Amino acid sequence: MLDPYKLRKDFQMFRNKTQMQEHDLVFLDNASTTFKPDCVVEAVDQYLLNETSNTHRGDYDLCYNADVKVENARKSISKFIGANENEIVFTSGTSMSINLIAYGYAGKYLTSEDEILITQAEHASNVLPWFKVHEITGCKIDYIPLDKDGRLSPVSVEKAITKNTKIIAVAQVTNVLGFVIDVKEICKIAHKHGVLVVCDGAQSVPHMNVNVKDLDVDFLSFSGHKVCGPTGIGVLYGKYELLEKMDPLMSGGGMNAKFDMCGDVKYLNPPSKFEAGTMNIEGIYGLKAAVEYVDKIGRNNIAEYETHLRKYMIKKMREVPNIIIYNENADAGIITFNVKGVFAQDLATYLNSKGIAIRSGQHCAKILITFLHEVATCRASIYFYTTKEDIDAFVDALKKGGDYLDAYFA
């Protein structure tokens, strides 16, 4: 089993108390973002301090160097998810990746006859872009029913597909309930009906082995900052033939082969076609370092550790009076809960006063509240550097909450 104590030594956020922290920080908001190990900071620094130049533009050594580094990063990232290098598009994150598919593919090819299937458990980034496609094309958006716990089964996917379904867009791991869905089986079913599968990998890629070729998924996106990388950098994977058919979301320098005064434009081949403008080069350097770091730990090891810690967390949390856990039977290191009679944000604010960072609210999954029948929930989420002591401090603070929160034992 991996050793979180050893791994924490790689993170400045764990080494020093910052001025903002009165207490040792217990960080349980890893579904929101993750800490960055030294190697990521050093990689970003390397670009900013020693290797600054633009890519794909210059005829001098600094530029050649950055070109090579960016393409090496693409290579590392393609290996990380089992893709071909030319199927990796650098984006600003999952949100941009899904928007790219929505506008560049669905907006172009779908009509008012067509239908896109999503679920009630999706993050806003995997709902709102499809609403836009509905606005543009008139296509229908429908919801595949979840089971009573909130899990999506391949059987309900098959039942929900109609002759009009063109796209199924689902998260491999949902960000509130934390169920891991069977993307491979869903792809098999979808492809049998000629339907494309768009997979939101924001909460899966950092935590478990994901191989796009094995899944046979058509598109998959993830964000750098949730996998120990910098913010503002992410990835869209798409099967090459689909990327070729897709329109770019943004036009500009670096993505065209030629254009003339009559408006005739020839785009470069994917992935360059989708990478208009100066890239987030330091972000790409950082993301390369991040995926290599996480790969070295091993995502099978991360998944094994998180499963073990999740069990411990559930067992400890059950000791808290009046606790409601919404996803006891889920798979990922995301636990969503409330304490009866306490507003979620009050609980998160109280925990903050004890140096414990969790998330409260609707977690960008605003249509899930009609499934949970709760206006707001609290979410504690772990990563490979979370320790049992973190969980103990969290549960201890929850147990003592009654001293501070009037409604606690209501």
**Which residues sit at the interface with ligand PLP, rule CB under 6 A?**
31, 93-95, 123, 125-126, 171, 175, 200, 202-203, 223, 364
SS3 360: strand
What 344-347 contacts at long range (C-beta under 8 Å, 24+ apart), as own/partner pairs, is 344/376, 344/377, 344/378, 345/376, 346/405, 347/378, 347/401, 347/405
Nearer Cβ to ligand PLP (245/366): 366
Count CA within 13 A, CB hemisphere, residue 89. 35
Within 10 A of 263 (CB to CB), how many other CB atoms are there?
A: 6
Count CA within 13 A, CB hemisphere, residue 232. 8
CA 23/CA 351 separation, integer angstroms: 11
Nearer Cβ to ligand PLP (283/401): 283
Nearer Cβ to ligand PLP (123/207): 123
Please say whether the beta carbons of 365 and 35 come within 8 A. no
Return the exposure string of 344-360: e unless at least 16 CB atoms fall within 10 Å of the residue's CB, then b.
Answer: bebbbebbeebbbbbbb
CA 78/CA 80 separation, integer angstroms: 5
Which candidate in 139, 187, 228, 364 is catalytic?
A: 364
Least CB distance from residue 50 to ligand PLP, whole Å?
A: 28
Q: Output the CA–CA distances (angstroms, integers) from residue 366 to 24, 48, 177, 244, 370, in the order listed.
A: 32, 38, 13, 34, 8
Nearer Cβ to ligand PLP (291/393): 291
Least CB distance from residue 231 to ligand PLP, whole Å?
A: 8
Least CB distance from residue 89 to ligand PLP, whole Å?
A: 14
Nearer Cβ to ligand PLP (208/398): 208
Nearer Cβ to ligand PLP (95/360): 95
Which residue from 136, 206, 138 is spatially nearest to 171, judged by alpha carbons? 206
Least CB distance from residue 171 to ligand PLP, whole Å?
A: 4
Least CB distance from residue 360 to ligand PLP, whole Å?
A: 14
**Whether residue 199 lies in the annotated active site:** no
Please say whether the beta carbons of 398 and 320 come within 8 A. yes
To which residue do tokens 């890893």 refer? 30
- As a 3-state breakdown, the chain gives helix, strand, coil percent values, each rounded to 5, of 45, 15, 40
Least CB distance from residue 221 to ligand PLP, whole Å?
A: 8
Least CB distance from residue 207 to ligand PLP, whole Å?
A: 11
Read off φ and ψ for residue 100, nearest 5 degrees.
-60, -45
Nearer Cβ to ligand PLP (63/369): 369
Least CB distance from residue 179 to ligand PLP, whole Å?
A: 11
Nearer Cβ to ligand PLP (172/408): 172
Which residue from 401, 372, 388 is spatially nearest to 4, judged by alpha carbons? 388
Whether cis (ω within 30° of 0) applies to the bond prior to 271 is: yes
What positions carry a catalytic annotation? 364
